[in-house]
Amino acid sequence: MPAGGTAVPGTAPVREAHRVDVHTLETYLAARLPGFAGPLEVRQFLGGQSNPTYHLRAASGDYVLRRKPPGKLLPSAHAVEREFRVIAALRGSEVPVPEALVLCEDPGVVGTAFYVMRYVAGRVLPQLNLPGFAPGERRALWDDAIGVLARLHQVDWRVAGLADFGKPGNYYARQIHRWVGQYRASETETIPAMEHLIEWLPAHVPSDDTTTLVHGDFRIGNTIVHATEPRILAVLDWELSTLGHPLGDLGYLCTAFRLSAGIDGLRGLDLAGLGIPSEAEVVARYCRLTGRDGIPGWEFYVAFALFRLAAICQGIMGRVRDGTASDPDARRRGERARPLAEAAWAVVDPAA
Report the C-alpha gap between 118 and 223 in whole angstroms. 14
β-bridge partners, 171: none
Superfamily of 11-118 according to CATH: Phosphorylase Kinase; domain 1 (3.30.200.20)
Average pLDDT, the chain: 92
Q: Answer yes or no: is pLDDT of 5 > 70.
A: no
Q: Is the peptide bond before 39 cis (omega within 30 degrees of 0)?
A: yes
Tell me what the mean pLDDT of segment 213-240 comes to.
96
User: How is 150-217 classified by DSSP, letter by letter?
Assistant: HHHHTS-TTTTT-TTSS-SS-HHHHHHHHHHHHHHHH--S--HHHHHHHHHGGGG--S----EEE-SS
State residue 136's pLDDT score.
Answer: 98
Give residues with Cβ within 8 angstroms of 90, minimum separation 6. 97, 155, 160
Q: Answer yes or no: is pLDDT of 276 > 70.
A: yes
User: How is 269-308 classified by DSSP, letter by letter?
Assistant: S-HHHHTPPPHHHHHHHHHHHHT-S--TTHHHHHHHHHHH
Q: What pTM was computed for the model?
A: 0.90
State residue 4's pLDDT score.
Answer: 45
Within this chain, domains 11-118 and 135-348 share the same CATH topology? no
The CATH number of 135-348 is 3.90.1200.10
CA 96 to chain CA centroid, nearest Å: 15
Report the C-alpha gap between 138 and 128 in whole angstroms. 10
**What are 288-329's pLDDT values in tens digits?**
999 999 999 999 999 999 999 999 999 989 888 888 776 667
Number of helical H runs and strand E runs in the chain: 11, 10
Torsion angle of C-alpha atoms 199, 202, 203, 205, degrees rounded to 10: 140
Q: Answer yes or no: is pLDDT of 6 > 60.
A: yes
**Contacts by residues 290-294 (CB-CB < 8 Å, ≥ 24 positions apart):** 290/150, 290/153, 290/154, 290/246
Q: Answer yes or no: is pLDDT of 149 > 90.
A: yes
Report the C-alpha gap between 115 and 84 in whole angstroms. 7
State residue 2's pLDDT score.
Answer: 41
SS3 state at 312: helix
**What are 19-54's pLDDT values in tens digits?**
999 999 999 999 999 999 999 999 999 875 578 999
SS3 state at 347: helix
**What are 283-299's pLDDT values in tens digits?**
999 999 999 999 999 99
Provide the residue ranges of all domains of the chain, joining segments of one domain with +: 11-118, 135-348
- Is residue 266 a contact partner of residue 220, using CB atoms and an 8 Å limit? no
